[in-house]
Structure 1
Amino acid sequence: MVESPATAPTLRRAALAFIFVTVTLDIVAFGIIIPVLPMLIKQMAGGESTAAAHWVGIISTIFAIVQLVCTPIQGALSDRYGRRKVILLSNLGLGLDFFLMAVVNSLPMLVVARIISGMTSASFSTANAYIADITPPEKRAATYGKLGASFGIGFVLGPAMGGFLGEIDLRLPFWVAGGLALANFAYGYFILPESLPPERRTRHLDIRNANPLGSLMLLRRYPQVFSLATVMFLSQLAHYVLNTTFVLYVDYRYGWGPQAVGFTLGLVGICNGIVQAILVGKIVQRFGERRALLAGLLFGVVGFAWQGLAATGWIALFAIPFLALWGFVNPATQALVTRQVDPHEQGRLQGALASLVSLAGVIGPELYTQTFAWGIGKDNSWHLPGAAFLLAALLLGIGAVIAHRATRTGTVASAASHQA
């Protein structure tokens, strides 16, 4: 396929459609293995739960660290050589890696496979840069909201498919995930145009800045971006309370089993999809990105505090709409920060933001599991099972204060003003 910039309206629509499809398929592929990866690890650990938990922690942390290191490199590569190549290589690498996970028979080899997965999973951050390339600034929040809806769809379909396929064979979900990723690669190879023309690319690959520390230095060059990136980090760190302690918490406090948890997560995915696909664009258009961001953070504070204090499972369900409305935060933040950074640095920007997400993934699991353990500890004078959720609410409250200060009238600058 001959590469051409995705600037014409028809090409832009086709390119956006592909980006939404590729993100959805990638999330489905990742979601498919969620229900079975811990079971595969337990199987390799000899069926011993304590050893399995130990290895799950090790593998999760290694994966997050690899992403922390590699996402800035991927962003810099996309700024230098174009988004299309990085997205396609990511899909190809993920497909082959899922196949590797389907056949390995030892925990060290599974660690190697997850390292490769962390190195190649660039499609999400590069997809964000792609959208910034081809979408006018005033439409970016709505477009990022639709991208968030793709995440929601993927997280509804993926785990459900993984649970069904895992009942047939524990390794079947990995084969299906690999097939989806490779099908995505083939589709993109023939369909996806390049979004970053040669004249807008960086002239040299500055590998010295393509690392987490160099990424933070890029953010420091744009003061508002640095503050908003801090807000995004706090929001992502808050999100990890759901990944790490939700199942343990609802089992301990409400006695929910797998079926109740599955129903609840499906409801969460549906509510998130509605907010991202329908409400984000309308709210931003009417009230602006700043108000959408601040409202999203406050909704998140209420949602997590509600979840942490709810005495019964039925009451806890009413936290879901507030947590779904928290979904305003990411698209509004993305729209604000992409306005501030030069076009040829959008890939590095997304790599830097993805590094912060990975850093949250390194910190979050230990932070929330220990907080949860403290809250229910027998030696603790406070019996507070929802302590981890209250901590997440506090982090979002701090983020709201930072966002309010960073986006006050007179503090917003554009990339053009930085160039002047």
Structure 2
Amino acid sequence: MLDERFVRRGLFLVFIILFLDIIGIAIIVPVLPTYLEELTGANVSEAAIDGGWLLLVYAAMQFLFAPLIGNLSDRFGRRPILLASVLTFALDNLICALATSYWMLFIGRVLAGISGASFGTASAYIADISHDGNRAKNFGLIGIAFGSGFALGPVLGGLLGELGPRVPFYGAAALSFLNFVLGVFLLPETLDRAHRRRFEWKRANPLGALKQMRNYPGIGWVGLVFFLFWLAHSVYPAVWSFVSSYRYGWSEGQIGLSLGVFGIGGALVMAFILPHVVPKLGEWRTAVLGLTFTTLGAIGYATAWQGWMVYAVIIATALESLADPPLRSIAAAHVPPSAQGELQGALTSIGSITTIIGPLIFTQAFGYFTGPSASVTFAGAPYALASCFLVGAILVFFLKVPKNRAVGPQEEVTIEPDEIPAIEKAARGELTRMPGN
């Protein structure tokens, strides 16, 4: 059993890392339309498409490199990979702040995508120090970090954006560097040597990682649900600011405020509702509930033709935040501790595929239905399309993911000679930190 103080410290610090990372991402969202228009001289519809290409290259790099990062964390531990990711994210934002051309932004996005930010490794970190009884609740910390980060980040970005569209990028770089310093001095390692495995190149690529997941029964259907869910969710970073600017005439500050309210709603649900719902309904039913409200939310945003309606939808469908933690917990329960990094790398690759496809689909839909040649003007078209993907996710989950999941076979771990003393201590009960127990 893990030492409770160690668990609390690890959860707190990984939450802080995720929280600061999310602020660093969300802080630039309100100024992105203005920044791209200024940098490229394009109108808002064309700038939305330019933003879609930036998201695509970021996602493409994550798809290619996330399995590598996940496998490296299974071999060398979570801490060094997290620190490297956070530092690279700081460099990315600094490059974007100093960019003098649209193509310089691509350099920053490539670096950010290769680093994988910190989300996949942070998920593996949480899995290391969780068990069946608290895994969904602990994964809820990711949602709380996202919600609170997106609550504060856009508001801060909107305020900084009043000083100039580049200022939020400098702020994001500073936050990421602060994140790195905190990690260097305070972040503990959660994957001890006894649970690490040999690095294998054949598994450290997208196809190899996804193929490896086939060894764990039922996880393929969970992966498909994640694919459809994340594909639909990519509509928000892709077009939220563009739809808000075009449809409601919102300023950077108003866009930031709307995202802030959205984030607060999600954080409150994760902090106060999720811990009570999962024990009563179970992970499976909680996931169905969250997916249902996510679908209703997408439909609501599609039909919200006035700005105040956006806030009504946010409040009415806040329970959509219940979907992600139980889905992650169900996936994590299928694999042993030595493969949690690989699992999160595979899931990140799946998510990256959706953020390659999603921004192209949703920004093109927005551009088509708001452009001068549109036969029907409908700024909510991207959200309507997203709701169709979510209906598919509900159907797959309901029909193919069993309520009583079967945990996959335990993977054989290659043991290095210098790891034997640690294993012997574990057998005698002398280690107090045994991730996964």
What TM-score, normalized to structure 2?
A: 0.86
Is 1:150–2:161 an aligned residue pair?
no
Match status 1:294 vs 2:288:
yes
Tell me if the contact between 1:272 and 1:324 (Cα under 8 Å) persists in the aligned partners.
yes
Q: Deviations over 1:22-45 (max 9, x none)?
A: 000111112223334554444443
Inter-partner Cα distance in structure 2 for 1:101 and 1:361: 20
Report if the CA contact (8 A) 2:120-2:345 is conserved.
Answer: yes
Match of residue 414 from structure 1: 407
Query: Which region of structure 1 is more displaced relative to structure 2, 282-291 or 88-97?
Result: 88-97
Q: Which residue of 1 aligns with 2:348?
A: 354
Change (3 A) 1:103 1:302: closer
Check conservation: 1:86, 1:122, Cα contact below 8 A: no
* Whole-angstrom distance in 2 between the partners of 1:317 and 1:109: 36
TM-superposed CA distance for 1:209, in Å, is 2.0
- Paired position in structure 1 for 2:427: none
Partner of residue 232, structure 1: 226
Structure 1, unmatched stretches of 5+, are 1-5
What aligned pairs does 1:180-195 form with structure 2 within 5 A after superposition? Answer: 180-195=175-190
Point out the more displaced range, 267-276 or 315-324. 315-324
Corresponding residue of 2:117? 122
* AA partner of residue 386 (structure 2): A
Counterpart-to-counterpart distance in 2, 1:53 and 1:305: 21
SS at match of 2:201: coil
The one-letter amino acid of 2:337's match is P
User: Which has the higher mean CA deviation after the structures are superposed, 30-39 or 375-384?
Assistant: 375-384
Alpha-carbon deviation of 1:361?
0.8
- Tell me, in whole angstroms, the C-alpha distance in 2 between the residues paired with 1:40 and 1:69: 28
In the superposition, relative to structure 1, how do residues 59 and 198 fare at CA in structure 2: closer, same or farther (>3 Å)?
same
Residue in 1 that maps onto 2:426: none
Does residue 138 of structure 1 match 2:133? Answer: yes
- C-alpha displacement at 1:254, in angstroms? 4.9
Q: Hey, what's the Cα distance between the residues in 2 that align with 1:170 and 1:136?
A: 44
Report the CA distance between 1:271 and its aligned residue: 0.8
Question: Structure 1 residues 282-291 or 136-145, which shifts more?
Answer: 136-145
- Aligned to 2:84, what secondary structure does the other structure show? helix
Deviates more, 1:328-337 or 1:262-271: 262-271
Matched with 1:29 is 24
Indicate the residue corresponding to 2:266 in structure 1: 272
Partner of 1:3: none
In the alignment, structure 1 residue 281 sits paired with structure 2 residue 275: yes
Q: Which amino acid aligns with 1:403?
A: F
Aligned to 1:305: 299
Aligned position for 2:169: 174
State the partner residue of 1:334: 328
Q: Aligned residue for 2:396? A: 402
1:7 Cα deviation from its structure 2 partner: 3.4
* 3-state SS of paired residue (1:168): coil
Could you say which residue in structure 2 is the equivalent of 1:218?
Answer: 212
- Could you tell me whether the CA contact under 8 Å between 2:70 and 2:343 is conserved in 1? yes
Offset, 1:117? 1.5
CA contact (8 A) 1:304 1:323 kept: no
Note the aligned Cα RMSD (angstroms): 2.6
**Paired AA for residue 408 in structure 2:** A
In structure 2, what residue type is equivalent to 1:331? P
* Cα shift readout 1:356-401 (whole Å, capped 9, x = no counterpart): 1111111112212333455568888777553332222221111111
Query: Is residue 245 from structure 1 mapped to residue 227 from structure 2 by the alignment?
Result: no
| 3-state secondary structure, aligned to 2:203 | coil
Q: Give the AA of the match of 1:157.
A: L
User: Which residue does 1:198 correspond to in 2?
Assistant: 193
Q: Name structure 2 gaps, 5 residues minimum.
A: 413-437
Query: Counterpart of 1:163 in 2: which secondary structure?
Result: helix
Aligned-partner residue type, residue 292 of structure 1: T
Is the 8 Å Cα contact of residues 7 and 195 (structure 1) preserved in structure 2?
no
Q: Which moved more, 1:243-252 or 1:159-168?
A: 243-252
CA contact (8 A) 2:217 2:408 kept: no
Query: Partners of 1:384 and 1:35 in 2: how far apart?
Result: 22
Q: Given that residues 94 and 120 in structure 1 are in contact (C-alpha distance below 8 angstroms), is that contact kept between their aligned partners in structure 2?
A: yes
Residues 209, 215 of structure 1: 8 Å contact kept:
yes
Match of 1:75 in 2: 70
TM-score by length of 1: 0.89
Q: CA deviation at 1:311?
A: 5.1
Question: How far does the alpha carbon of each residue in 1:96-143 deviate from its partner, in whole angstroms, 9 at most, with x for none?
Answer: 333333334333333212211211233111000000001112201111
- CA distance in structure 2 between the aligned counterparts of 1:310 and 1:176, rounded to whole angstroms: 32
2:295–2:387 CA contact under 8 A, matched in 1: yes
For the residue of structure 1 that corresponds to 2:262, the secondary structure is: helix
The 10-residue stretch of structure 1 (325-334 or 170-179) with the greater mean CA deviation from structure 2: 170-179
Could you tell me how far 1:208 is from its partner in structure 2? 1.9
Whole-Å separation in 2 of the counterparts to 1:43 and 1:257: 15
Number of equivalences: 411
- Secondary structure of the corresponding residue to residue 218 of structure 2: helix
8 A Cα contact 1:71 1:122, kept in partner: no
CA contact (8 A) 1:132 1:346 kept: yes
Work out the percentage of aligned pairs sharing the same amino acid: 36
1:312-335 CA deviation, whole Å, 9 max, x = no partner?
444443321344211111101011
What amino acid does structure 2 have at the position aligned with 1:308? A
- Does 1:391 find its partner at 2:378? no
User: Residue 88 of structure 1: which of 76, 83, 90 is its match?
Assistant: 83
